[in-house]
Amino acid sequence: MNVNTEAGTANFEYLQQAAETTDTRTALRDLMTTYGDDVWNYAFSLCRNSDMSDDITQEVFLKVYRKLGSFRGESSIKTWLLAITRHTAFDMQRSSFWKRITSSDIFTAAAAVQPSAEHEAIERFAINDIWQKVMELPVKYREVLILYAHYQLSMKEMAEILKLSEGTVKSRLFHARARVLKLKERDLIEPE
């Protein structure tokens, strides 16, 4: 048995025990501490809105709290959480409430005099040229690059999260890399 399988089994047993006892709050706190940043960052990479990322993260952990016993251990906890994050992000983006809020954010942001600390932190993150290019990509390409490069997931794990075949994931990853290279070449030819 390899280390990942042993760790996955231990995590599965821990969550099963927590779900069967009254210790679900401790398990949830542990999950939030361990994976909270990963969930928020993935949510932000999908929606590019820090307020919405906060709400998505909160909703993900509420869902996890309610469904803690449904984790079957067929994937890693991280893969499970990122799949929930993806579904929650797309559900929220489709909701009419968020469409109204995000369109009004354009006017609010223009009126702001000084950027918030969150905005400055995001700006510092975006300074990295490659990540700026990645964030310009359509979601289907952006998310495979982020899952692969940032979260270092395997093709199988990405296919599971995205509900796609491994071949489709490989194809999207290939095309995403090609698009980033094209964007870099464009910037070399047409500097700002």
Look at residues 61, 62, 60, 65 and name the one whose alpha carbon lies nearest to residue 23. 65
**Nearby residues of 46 by Cβ (< 8 Å), 6 or more positions away:** 85, 86, 89, 90, 93, 139, 142, 143
Q: pLDDT at position 13, please?
A: 61
Q: pLDDT at position 134, please?
A: 80
How confident is the model over 103-153, as pLDDT tens digits? Answer: 444 444 444 445 666 666 655 554 566 777 788 889 899 999 888 888 888
- What's phi and psi for 23, nearest 5 deg? -90, 25
pLDDT band, very low/low/confident/very high, at 186 (cuts 50, 70, 90): confident
Residue range 49-75: average pLDDT?
84
Helix, strand or coil, per DSSP, at residue 114: coil
Residues, the chain: 192
pTM: 0.61
Query: Are 174 and 145 contacting, i.e. CB atoms less than 8 angstroms apart?
Result: no
More confident residue, 51 or 167: 167
pLDDT band, very low/low/confident/very high, at 1 (cuts 50, 70, 90): very low
pLDDT band, very low/low/confident/very high, at 15 (cuts 50, 70, 90): low
10 Å Cβ neighbour count for 17?
11
Q: Which of 46-55, 87-96, 167-176, 182-191 has the lowest mean pLDDT?
A: 182-191
The mean pLDDT value of the chain amounts to 76
Residue range 52-74: average pLDDT?
84
Q: Which of 30-34, 72-76, 98-102 has the lowest mean pLDDT?
A: 98-102
Q: pLDDT at position 103, please?
A: 45
Query: Are 32 and 61 contacting, i.e. CB atoms less than 8 angstroms apart?
Result: yes
